[in-house]
Homo-oligomer: A and B are copies of this chain.
Amino acid sequence: MTPPTSPASPESPTPPASPTPPMSTPRIRPARPDDYDTIVAVLDAWWGRPMTDKLPRLFLDHFHPTSLVAEDAAGLGGFLIGLLSPARPDEAYIHFAGVRPDLRRSGLARELYERFFALARADGRSVVRAVTGPVNTGSIRYHTAMGFTVHGPVADHDGPGADRMRFERPLDVGGAT
């Protein structure tokens, strides 16, 4: 018989809320279409500037099998929106990746990238590309540390005045990189 105060007992339909949720390691899973609403709700805050225009719902609707979500006890911990290029059979592309501010420098971003590299490699892709704005020095540092080469700023890459840094990283399809 389970004591009535046990929060984990199957008889407790609503376990008492904990004022300080237990620390937990984020778990990474493939994204689902309905993750869109959770992700888009945090974009502007995580980036510190308006970003939602750059992530319409189509990216989750059509590319969720190659995208990833990390969750912990506090909810969404990070995500990566990626695709396997239909036009370039050797290439995978990361459109968006973000980690909750309190989880930065925890290794979660690296884990998301490595999970994406693995799924790209499993599909025979030999290069991963991404872009960012020249002001995004954190992203430039991060991609360099992750083994990407950096090229740019490329003028007007994403339209008039929208210069971008281009990132590129080879994937050793047979090996561990």
A residues at B contact (CB < 8 Å): 33, 37, 40-41, 43, 52-58, 61-66, 83-88, 91, 93, 95, 131, 156-160, 162
Known contacts A62-B93, A93-B62; A56 and B86 CB within 8 A of each other:
no
Question: How many copies of this chain does one complex carry?
Answer: 2
Known contacts A158-B56, A160-B52; A61 and B85 CB within 8 A of each other:
yes
Q: Are A86 and B61 in contact (CB under 8 A)?
A: no
Contacts of A162 in B (CB 8 A): 52-53
16 contacts between A and B (CB under 8 A): A37-B156, A40-B158, A40-B159, A52-B160, A53-B53, A53-B162, A55-B159, A56-B158, A56-B159, A57-B158, A62-B83, A62-B88, A63-B86, A63-B87, A65-B87, A66-B86
Instruction: Beyond the given A52-B162, A56-B159, A62-B85, please list 13 additional residue pairs across the A-B interface where CB-CB is below 8 A.
Output: A41-B160, A52-B158, A52-B160, A53-B53, A53-B54, A56-B131, A57-B157, A58-B95, A58-B131, A62-B88, A63-B86, A63-B87, A65-B86
Bound form: Cα–Cα A55–B95 in Å = 13
Bound form: Cα–Cα A88–B37 in Å = 19
Closest 10 CB pairs of A and B: A52-B159, A62-B85, A40-B159, A56-B158, A53-B53, A62-B87, A65-B87, A64-B87, A57-B158, A57-B157
Contacts of A40 in B (CB 8 A): 158-160
Contacts of A66 in B (CB 8 A): 86
Bound form: Cα–Cα A116–B83 in Å = 21
Contacts of A84 in B (CB 8 A): 86
Bound form: Cα–Cα A58–B87 in Å = 11
